[in-house]
């Protein structure tokens, strides 16, 4: 059964790890705005929906190898129907709008992240990860590694650093608010600041291999190359991201490439 197996030779304790994808509803003009005007608002929304499909399918695939359950962590309340048809089967929904009473030094996006972690743990998870929705080709092996590492030792934090200095994944077994305090979100210091918070708390920090976010024009062109001609000898096998590949095939990629070259 998905999400219920052992760790195939690891020391996993009973329970499961919930992986929550931080998600925005794919509404034209309100998602993937940093990819405009390279993409039209409609194309950006379609690509956002494809990313959601691929990332949640990737989590679902990881659940065949480790005790994982997948959900999306979304906002605002009442937006649930906007995700219909865009998620893998069995993907749950968790509200993560930062509305509960939280420590005052947790601000901005950190409130949503901490809310998501608390909600997943309160929902019965032994460990919880927040995962971005901007890395559709993230190797499946990294999701499995994150869950297994957390379930082996409850005093761990798992960090998946992004190449831009942020992180694509952060996992823990307790809602450590200090990991989200006074973070300069959307900067290249986010991962370093999070590492420092983990050291302050005396937590065992496990780092995954770095990966990239598709949140600017250069990363979009990289994604196009990756899904068009997957690397053969890469140390980690990228997820195939079939929904994203199909969406990109429908977009006028020649126009996208020419527009990018002109900028």
What is the domain-level CATH number for residue 234? 3.90.550.10
Q: What's residue 257's pLDDT?
A: 56
Q: What is the pLDDT of residues 228-242, one digit of tens each?
A: 877 777 788 999 999
CA distance 30 to 26: 7
pLDDT higher than 90, residue 116: yes
Higher pLDDT, 166 or 254: 166
- On whether the CB atoms of residues 220 and 251 are closer than 8 A, the answer is no
Q: What is the percentage of the chain residues whose pLDDT exceeds 70?
A: 90
Q: Mean pLDDT over residues 207-217, rounded? A: 94
Q: What's residue 144's pLDDT?
A: 98
Instruction: Evaluate whether residue 110 is within a structural domain.
Output: yes
pLDDT band at 67 (very low <50, low <70, confident <90, very high): very high
Instruction: Evaluate whether residue 10 is within a structural domain.
Output: no
Pick from 54, 56, 26: nearest CA to 41:
26
Q: What is the DSSP string of 208-235?
A: PPPB----SHHHHHHHHHHHHS--SS-S
Strands 204-207 and 156-161: parallel
- On whether the CB atoms of residues 60 and 70 are closer than 8 A, the answer is yes
pLDDT band at 10 (very low <50, low <70, confident <90, very high): very low
Higher pLDDT, 2 or 255: 255
Q: What's residue 146's pLDDT?
A: 98
Q: Mean pLDDT over residues 52-80, rounded? A: 97
Number of domains in the chain: 1
Instruction: Evaluate whether residue 140 is within a structural domain.
Output: yes
Phi, psi at residue 18, to the nearest 5°?
-95, 130
Burial class of residue 250, CB neighbours in 10 A (0-12, 13-18, 19+): exposed
Q: What's residue 7's pLDDT?
A: 47
- On whether the CB atoms of residues 133 and 24 are closer than 8 A, the answer is yes
Q: What's residue 61's pLDDT?
A: 98
Q: What is the pLDDT of residues 124-146, one digit of tens each?
A: 999 999 999 999 999 999 999 99
Higher pLDDT, 16 or 7: 16
pLDDT higher than 50, residue 46: yes
Q: Measuring CA to CA, how many Å separate 180 from each of 70, 76, 117, 248? A: 22, 20, 11, 34
Instruction: Evaluate whether residue 255 is within a structural domain.
Output: yes
pLDDT band at 202 (very low <50, low <70, confident <90, very high): very high
Q: Mean pLDDT over residues 90-118, rounded? A: 96
CA distance 199 to 201: 5
- On whether the CB atoms of residues 22 and 113 are closer than 8 A, the answer is yes
Pick from 12, 6, 262: nearest CA to 150:
12
Which residue segment(s) compose the domain that 192 sits in?
A: 17-262
Q: What is the pLDDT of residues 218-229, one digit of tens each?
A: 899 899 888 887
Q: Measuring CA to CA, how many Å separate 206 from each of 150, 156, 161, 185? A: 9, 7, 11, 21
pLDDT higher than 80, residue 6: no
Instruction: Evaluate whether residue 91 is within a structural domain.
Output: yes
Instruction: Evaluate whether residue 3 is within a structural domain.
Output: no
Instruction: Evaluate whether residue 9 is within a structural domain.
Output: no
Token pair in block for residue 217 = 């024009």
Instruction: Evaluate whether residue 11 is within a structural domain.
Output: no
Q: What's residue 33's pLDDT?
A: 87
Q: What's residue 255's pLDDT?
A: 60
pLDDT band at 13 (very low <50, low <70, confident <90, very high): very low
Q: What's residue 9's pLDDT?
A: 41
Output the CA torsion 220→167→34→224 (10° steps).
10
Q: Longest Cα pair distance anywhere in the chain, in angstroms?
A: 55
């Amino acid at each position: 059964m998905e999400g219920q197996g052992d760790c195939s030779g690891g020391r996993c304790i009973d329970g499961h790890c919930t992986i929550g994808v931080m998600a925005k509803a794919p509404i034209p003009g309100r998602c993937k705005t940093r990819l405009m005007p390279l993409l039209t608002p409609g194309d950006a929304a379609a690509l956002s929906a494809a990313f959601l499909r691929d990332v949640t399918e990737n989590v679902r695939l990881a659940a065949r190898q480790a005790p994982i359950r997948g959900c999306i962590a979304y906002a605002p309340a009442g937006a649930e129907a906007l995700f219909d048809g865009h998620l893998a089967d069995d993907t749950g929904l968790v509200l993560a709008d930062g509305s509960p009473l939280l420590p005052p030094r947790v601000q901005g996006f950190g409130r949503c992240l901490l809310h998501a972690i608390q909600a997943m743990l309160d929902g019965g998870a032994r460990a919880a990860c927040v995962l971005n929705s901007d890395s559709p080709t993230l190797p499946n092996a990294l999701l499995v590694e994150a869950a297994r590492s957390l379930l082996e030792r409850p005093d761990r934090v798992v960090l998946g650093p992004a190449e831009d200095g942020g992180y694509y994944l952060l996992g823990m077994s307790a809602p450590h608010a200090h990991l989200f305090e006074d973070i300069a979100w959307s900067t290249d210091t986010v991962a370093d600041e999070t590492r420092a918070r983990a050291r302050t708390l005396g937590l065992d920090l496990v780092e995954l291999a770095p990966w990239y976010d598709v949140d600017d024009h250069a990363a979009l062109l990289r994604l196009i190359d990756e899904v068009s001609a997957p690397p053969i000898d890469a140390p980690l096998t990228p997820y195939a991201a079939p929904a994203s590949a199909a969406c990109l095939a429908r977009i006028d990629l020649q126009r996208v490439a020419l527009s990018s070259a002109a900028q």
